């Protein structure tokens, strides 16, 4: 069975190139090398240059060179038409010899250590350096006939470069040069018993350069009556896939291989395309206009660019020296094959199809269960998928999923990386309010910067439509006895309080039915405070929650019990106050901002602590379970603070507590709500990292929704996981009274099982040019970052190599592995950047909570800087997670990466994807396990008996030596 790749990145053959005439002609170019998974190394991107993150902040790169590796002896390869292009596959080994690696960018992510893991077997999809796409088994056979340069591995670390090719009659596999007679330097196809992928023979395992050989590029041909092995390493994983696929077809069908291919999938696909063409050729002329043919293909594959389709037809006509713009059926089918077949999906299909050009219902069942993690799969479910996604009627009738149907399925919402279970409210909503993270907005009325920017009601509309559950209203006296909203002591414009309340009433529960918190920063006179009360009571009415808290309770009510309610967070008079108005302390973030503007470089941590103002009783009575109070210190709060009292923390002060008192901060937030607002330094409306405060349990981390970038990506992605309702249940370790958790832990979390996350970036589709790029043309040089955000022990990042001048379907084929110590607080962010940019490098991103990842082969939809979905732009990835179904690791379900007692190891059976053999041997697994248990149990029993015997003899000797009077009784 195909297993997911681990920590190391694929390299061009994974072997150091031996000295020879061909190697000497190769010039190393940044970006040709392939990056290591766990180590993050590889060529591309240039060295040490500055770059910008998606929000425009300058970030500097460091240099990271790979460790050197010595050269091994080998024979020089013969000159061949493909030598120059194939030789590019050696760039990884050249990089090991001292070439600069991929620069690792510095970022907010720290402590990304301990990521190097043992590399695991994987299905690989790397792209060939040729224009011709591999889209069928016949393409594989043709490539084998043309030949490829492969490395022949022998014992004692010997490596020989040979040129392998398949005879035109498909009867023999030959290689040259060789000291043997030409008739001996060959293998008869009919003598081949098995084609084995990876480094899975004794010669590979005993070879001194085993660790330098890429698992993806290695394969072995088992042949002859004595089951000899011919162990080979290709210059790329794609070439290895071609030989493995082609040889397996030849083993199964012999000289009739091409006839079989022609009579199955090609015939089915051709029939479908012919029928579609005939429907377009209404006059039965045998040809259609070029514009119709282009639109036809674009309708079938909307992500393709019109000019690319036109260019392909024109190239075909030019090769045939054809004039005119009419397109025949044969030309239409040929161009469709070329443009609409994704080779990485084709190679995946043949891994599961038992050497067929389509998946039948049983093949699809195996794929759905083993890779996609689907439970209780039946043939009926497989048939439903085929009926839904297979475009050819013949395939639907016969229960066959062709490459086109398989592509349709993999690009459908069914194979989205985001678990659909999390698209609706799926968490327990009956916990106290303090047990949830709450989607929160800072100065919601501002749509630009904090000092001169305009205020607008669209800020509230946008935030509420995005699921925000805590908005801010900074209210001041306005003209005509109408309160206004703006940031005091600044040059921001004003909006009328009443119009904001109208908008809140209209959109409060547009995206979520759970309670909305209005953070009221009141600076009004008593007269206009009463106007505020009138507007809120009249407009919001019964939605206002004014019920007094129950003093006998210890925790806030739940979101479930507060559905449809609006909570006012503001200052409140004491419960025993009897007057009409009273004196309370002021919270003036605007004054803090003003002070910051006047004092550059001086950070204000406590704002206007001595200032007080008059509060009317009517407004005080609207505040129920969110009374604003000033924080003093943790021990005072633990003893005196009431559960309905809320403290607000400046970002700087909150960071201080997070670093100096992380355990106390977490414990504080188990019972009380804490609101964190941005530092006054952030006049440009930039955002703090919400993860810095979520890890401490802070529920209300106020974000500037008007500013896109990494921080808002994290905030938006995080709150997707519970139906985007604005509330996310915190990890149990942050809620349970008896548990202890330090926010700054840099190791495993006690009581939490870490998990290993394997991510393979296979390919990308339809990458647009960065919006702000000043470069001419539409060509991009994309590369991908995979970032892990969470507690310090989890934060890490890895990047792929750069794919030059390919934004349509770049094949990255790189694997990474991360240990996730607190999965409930971790997020994964995919970022696609342009390595050849002028002005802007950001192409797209997608941020997803770890708990929402689906295992298996998935597509990741890319989003723009401002959060819009980029049409048809995506990443194709493979995800595997320990303790979860799917990902090609059914035998690893239930495993944990926690350190502890070593588990019992069982022999495993490697799947060959040859049904007749696999079905014979799969029944042997349980007897093997039973035999292992029997042996281990017997050994444990014998060891226990030996220990008892040794202990008895030791006791007997001791008694004899010291003359113990109770010797006889102790020996019994």
What size, in residues, is the chain? 972
Q: How many Cα atoms within 13 Å fall on the side-chain side of residue 885?
A: 11
Dihedral, CA atoms, 313, 315, 321, 324, nearest 10 degrees? 40
pLDDT of 21 > 70? The answer is: no
pLDDT of 128 > 60? The answer is: no
pLDDT of 752 > 60? The answer is: yes
The model's pTM is: 0.75
pLDDT for position 837: 75
Question: In angstroms, how far is CA 460 from the centroid of its own chain?
Answer: 31
Higher model confidence: residue 688 or residue 69?
A: 688
Average confidence (pLDDT) over 140-148: 90
What is the pairing mode between strands 50-52 and 58-62?
antiparallel
pLDDT of 17 > 70? The answer is: no
- List C-alpha distances in Å: 406 to 264, 275, 414, 811, 879: 16, 20, 12, 18, 18
DSSP-assigned letter for residue 855:
P
For the stretch 23-51, pLDDT in tens is: 333 333 333 333 333 333 333 333 333 34
Give backbone dihedrals phi and psi of 437, rounded to 5 degrees, phi first: -80, 140
Least confident interval from 13-22, 379-388, 461-470: 13-22
pLDDT for position 703: 97
What mean pLDDT value characterizes the chain? 79
pLDDT for position 914: 64
> Where does 37-188 show beta strands of DSSP type E?
50-52, 58-62, 104-105, 148-153, 159-166, 172-176, 186-188
pLDDT of 528 > 70? The answer is: yes
What is the pairing mode between strands 186-188 and 172-176?
antiparallel
Burial classification of residue 225, based on how many CB atoms lie within 10 Å of its CB (0-12 exposed, 13-18 middle, 19 or more buried): exposed
For the stretch 610-634, pLDDT in tens is: 578 889 999 999 999 999 999 989 9
pLDDT for position 775: 66
For the stretch 492-518, pLDDT in tens is: 899 999 999 999 999 999 999 999 999
pLDDT of 298 > 50? The answer is: yes
* Inter-residue contact 140 to 250 (CB < 8 Å): no
Give the ranges where 661-772 is alpha helix by DSSP (H): 662-668, 691-694, 710-718
For the stretch 646-658, pLDDT in tens is: 999 999 999 999 9
Average confidence (pLDDT) over 86-104: 38
pLDDT of 675 > 80? The answer is: yes
pLDDT of 768 > 80? The answer is: yes
pLDDT of 532 > 90? The answer is: yes
The pLDDT-based confidence of 750 (bands split at 50, 70, 90) is confident
pLDDT for position 353: 86
Task: Return the bridge partners of 613, or none.
Answer: 584
For the stretch 335-364, pLDDT in tens is: 998 899 998 999 899 889 877 889 999 999
Calculate Rg over the CA atoms of the chain. Answer: 33
Tokens of 870: 């980029």
pLDDT of 560 > 80? The answer is: yes
* Inter-residue contact 313 to 269 (CB < 8 Å): no
pLDDT of 260 > 70? The answer is: no
pLDDT for position 587: 67
Average confidence (pLDDT) over 192-208: 88
Of the candidates 764, 759, 777, 770, the one whose C-alpha atom is nearest the C-alpha of residue 53 is: 770
Least confident interval from 101-115, 549-563, 799-813: 101-115
pLDDT of 957 > 60? The answer is: no
Dihedral, CA atoms, 475, 476, 479, 480, nearest 10 degrees? 60
Q: In whole angstroms, what is the distance from residue 316 CA to residue 605 CA?
A: 69
For the stretch 207-257, pLDDT in tens is: 778 788 888 889 999 999 989 999 999 988 889 989 998 898 888 777 666
For the stretch 822-835, pLDDT in tens is: 999 999 999 999 98
Give the ranges where 217-288 is alpha helix by DSSP (H): 237-253, 257-263, 265-280
pLDDT for position 90: 36
Of the candidates 3, 5, 15, 53, the one whose C-alpha atom is nearest the C-alpha of residue 797 is: 53
pLDDT for position 704: 95
Of the candidates 150, 405, 373, the one whose C-alpha atom is nearest the C-alpha of residue 272 is: 405
Q: In whole angstroms, what is the distance from residue 37 CA to residue 6 CA?
A: 7
* Inter-residue contact 741 to 696 (CB < 8 Å): no
pLDDT for position 607: 44
Burial classification of residue 608, based on how many CB atoms lie within 10 Å of its CB (0-12 exposed, 13-18 middle, 19 or more buried): middle
- Tokens 């990145």, residue? 9
pLDDT of 903 > 70? The answer is: no
The pLDDT-based confidence of 729 (bands split at 50, 70, 90) is very high
pLDDT of 172 > 60? The answer is: yes
Q: In whole angstroms, what is the distance from residue 785 CA to residue 223 CA?
A: 42
Of the candidates 834, 854, 853, 830, the one whose C-alpha atom is nearest the C-alpha of residue 843 is: 834
């Amino acid at each position: 069975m195909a297993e997911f790749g681990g920590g190391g990145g694929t390299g061009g053959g994974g072997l150091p190139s031996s000295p020879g005439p061909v190697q000497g002609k190769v010039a190393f170019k940044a970006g040709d090398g392939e990056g290591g998974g766990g180590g993050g190394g590889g060529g591309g991107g240039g060295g040490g240059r500055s770059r910008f993150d998606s929000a425009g902040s300058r970030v500097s790169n460091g240099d990271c060179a790979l460790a050197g590796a010595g050269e091994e002896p080998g024979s020089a390869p013969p000159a061949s038409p493909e030598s120059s292009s194939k030789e590019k596959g050696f760039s990884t080994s050249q990089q090991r010899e001292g070439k600069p690696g991929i620069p690792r960018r510095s970022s907010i992510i720290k402590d990304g250590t301990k990521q190097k893991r043992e590399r695991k077997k994987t299905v690989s999809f790397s792209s060939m350096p040729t224009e011709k796409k591999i889209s069928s088994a016949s393409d594989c056979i043709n490539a084998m006939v043309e030949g490829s340069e492969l490395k022949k591995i022998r014992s004692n670390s010997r490596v020989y470069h040979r040129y392998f090719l398949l005879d035109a009659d498909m009867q023999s596999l030959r290689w040259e040069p060789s000291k043997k007679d030409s008739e001996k330097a060959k293998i008869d196809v009919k003598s081949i018993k098995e084609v084995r992928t990876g480094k899975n023979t004794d010669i590979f395992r005993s070879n001194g350069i085993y660790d330098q050989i890429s698992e993806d590029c290695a394969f072995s041909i088992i042949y002859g009556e004595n089951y000899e092995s011919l162990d080979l390493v290709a210059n790329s994983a794609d070439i290895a896939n071609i030989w493995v696929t082609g040889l397996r077809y030849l083993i199964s069908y012999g000289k009739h291989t091409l006839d079989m291919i022609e009579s199955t999938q090609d015939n089915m696909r051709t029939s479908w395309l012919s029928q579609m063409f005939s429907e377009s050729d209404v006059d039965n002329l045998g040809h259609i206009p070029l514009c119709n043919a282009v639109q036809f293909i674009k309708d079938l594959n909307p992500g393709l660019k019109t000019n690319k389709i036109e260019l392909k037809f024109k190239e075909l006509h030019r090769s045939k020296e054809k004039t005119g713009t009419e397109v025949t059926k044969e030309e239409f089918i040929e161009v469709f094959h070329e443009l609409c077949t994704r080779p990485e999906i084709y190679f995946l299909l043949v891994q599961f199809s038992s050497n067929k050009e389509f998946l039948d219902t049983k093949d699809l069942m195996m794929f759905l269960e083993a890779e996609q993690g689907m439970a209780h799969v039946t043939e009926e479910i497989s048939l439903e998928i085929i009926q839904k996604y297979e475009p050819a009627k013949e395939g639907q009738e016969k229960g066959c999923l062709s490459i086109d149907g398989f592509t349709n399925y993999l690009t459908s919402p069914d194979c989205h990386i985001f678990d659909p279970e999390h698209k609706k409210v799926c968490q327990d909503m009956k916990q106290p309010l303090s047990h949830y993270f709450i989607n929160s907005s800072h100065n919601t009325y501002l749509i630009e910067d904090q000092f001169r920017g305009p205020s607008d009601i669209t800020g509230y509309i946008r935030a509420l439509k995005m699921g925000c559950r805590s908005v801010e209203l900074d209210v001041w006296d306005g003209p005509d006895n109408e309160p206004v909203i703006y940031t005091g002591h600044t040059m921001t414009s004003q909006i009328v309080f009443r119009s904001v309340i109208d908008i809140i009433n209209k959109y409060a529960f547009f995206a979520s039915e759970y309670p909305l918190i209005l953070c009221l920063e009141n600076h009004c006179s008593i007269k206009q405070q009463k106007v505020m009360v009138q507007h809120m009571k009249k407009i919001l009415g019964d939605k206002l929650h004014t019920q007094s808290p129950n003093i006998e309770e210890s925790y806030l009510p739940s979101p479930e019990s507060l559905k449809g309610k609006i909570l006012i967070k503001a200052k409140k008079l004491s419960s025993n106050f009897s007057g009409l108005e009273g004196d309370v302390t002021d919270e003036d973030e605007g004054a803090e901002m003003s002070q910051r503007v006047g004092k550059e470089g001086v950070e204000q941590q406590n704002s206007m602590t001595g200032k007080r103002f008059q509060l009317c009783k009517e407004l005080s009575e609207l505040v129920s379970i969110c009374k604003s109070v000033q924080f003093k210190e943790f021990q005072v709060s633990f003893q005196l603070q009431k559960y309905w009292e809320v403290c607000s923390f400046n970002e700087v002060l909150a960071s201080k507590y997070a670093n100096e008192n992380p355990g106390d901060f977490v414990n504080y937030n188990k019972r009380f709500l804490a609101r964190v607002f941005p530092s006054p330094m952030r006049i440009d409306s930039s955002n703090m990292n919400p993860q810095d405060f979520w890890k401490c349990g802070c529920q209300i981390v106020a974000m500037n929704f008007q500013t896109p970038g990494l921080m808002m990506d994290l905030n938006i992605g995080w709150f997707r996981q519970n139906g985007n309702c604005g509330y996310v249940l915190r990890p149990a370790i942050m809620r349970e009274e008896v548990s202890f958790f330090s926010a700054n832990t840099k190791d495993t979390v006690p009581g939490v099982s870490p998990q290993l996350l394997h991510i393979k970036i296979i390919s990308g589709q339809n990458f647009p040019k960065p919006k702000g790029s000043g470069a001419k043309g539409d060509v991009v040089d994309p590369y991908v970052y995979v970032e892990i955000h969470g507690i310090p022990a989890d934060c890490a990042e890895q990047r792929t190599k750069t794919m030059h001048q390919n934004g349509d379907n770049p094949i990255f084929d790189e694997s990474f592995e991360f240990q996730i110590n607190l999965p409930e607080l971790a997020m994964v962010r995919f970022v696609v950047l342009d390595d050849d940019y002028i002005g802007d490098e950001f192409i797209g991103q997608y941020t997803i909570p770890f708990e929402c990842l689906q295992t298996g082969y998935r597509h990741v939809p890319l989003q723009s800087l401002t959060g819009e979905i980029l049409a048809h732009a995506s990443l194709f990835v493979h995800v595997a997670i320990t303790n979860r179904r799917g990902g090609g690791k059914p035998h690893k379900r239930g495993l944990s990466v926690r350190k502890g007692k070593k588990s019992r190891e069982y022999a495993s059976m490697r799947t060959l994807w040859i049904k007749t053999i696999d079905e014979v041997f799969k029944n042997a697994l349980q007897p093997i396990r039973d035999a292992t248990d029997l042996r281990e149990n017997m050994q444990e029993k014998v060891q226990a008996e030996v220990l008892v015997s040794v202990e008895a003899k030791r006791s007997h000797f001791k008694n004899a030596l010291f003359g113990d009077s109770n010797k006889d009784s102790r020996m019994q």
